[in-house]
Amino acid sequence: MSDPLSVVASIAGLVAVSAKIISLLKDLYDSAKGAPESISRVRAEMQDLNVIFCEVQLFIMGQSRMPEGNRLSMISIHHLVATLSGCVLVCSGLDKYVSRVAGIVDPSVPASRAGLVSERVKWAAWKEAEVIDIIEDLQRHKLSLNLMLSIIQW
């Protein structure tokens, strides 16, 4: 994934999958009373990451303003690639997890057409311990990307 095209493709994929996850989480949370509060925490982290992914995408595509000075040299491309790879892994796993909880068997079928599983089964599948780990992973990647953007744009 170290070539520029792979980085651009990864960012585009992350923007798309994060938007999908945000939508699924909103549907899950709104669909039932007593939905775990951790759903909104994961959704908030994904919304924050989506903004960062979009900003990284604008920067990579050359549509974001480049600051004076060469702060870009302070960022290792290997660090960016490692962070993006981690984001891809976490977002991919989260997408599968949320889709399973939402009762979506075929990921190509939108949540509204697939139907949702009964609330009892749905929330039994939502494991808080796993979700806390996911939130921590999302926060770690968000901090790394945000730090890189701050260094470049400062």
Q: In the structure, what pLDDT confidence band is assigned to residue 41 with cuts at 50, 70 and 90?
A: very high
Q: What is the Cβ-side half-sphere exposure of residue 107, based on CA atoms within 13 angstroms?
A: 12
The secondary structure of 96-115 as a DSSP string is HHHHHHHT-SSTTS-HHHH-
pTM of the model: 0.78
What local confidence, expressed as pLDDT, does residue 147 receive? Answer: 87
What local confidence, expressed as pLDDT, does residue 126 receive? Answer: 76
45-101 pLDDT, tens digit each: 999 999 999 988 887 777 666 556 566 666 777 888 889 999 999 999 999 988 888
Span of 10-14, 61-65, 113-117, 149-153 with lowest mean pLDDT? 113-117
Q: What is the Cβ-side half-sphere exposure of residue 29, based on CA atoms within 13 angstroms?
A: 15
Q: In the structure, what pLDDT confidence band is assigned to residue 103 with cuts at 50, 70 and 90?
A: confident
What local confidence, expressed as pLDDT, does residue 44 receive? Answer: 95
The secondary structure of 9-34 as a DSSP string is HHHHHHHHHHHHHHHHHHHHHHHSTT
The mean pLDDT of 25-41, rounded to a whole number, is 84
10-21 pLDDT, tens digit each: 899 999 999 999
Q: What is the Cβ-side half-sphere exposure of residue 65, based on CA atoms within 13 angstroms?
A: 5
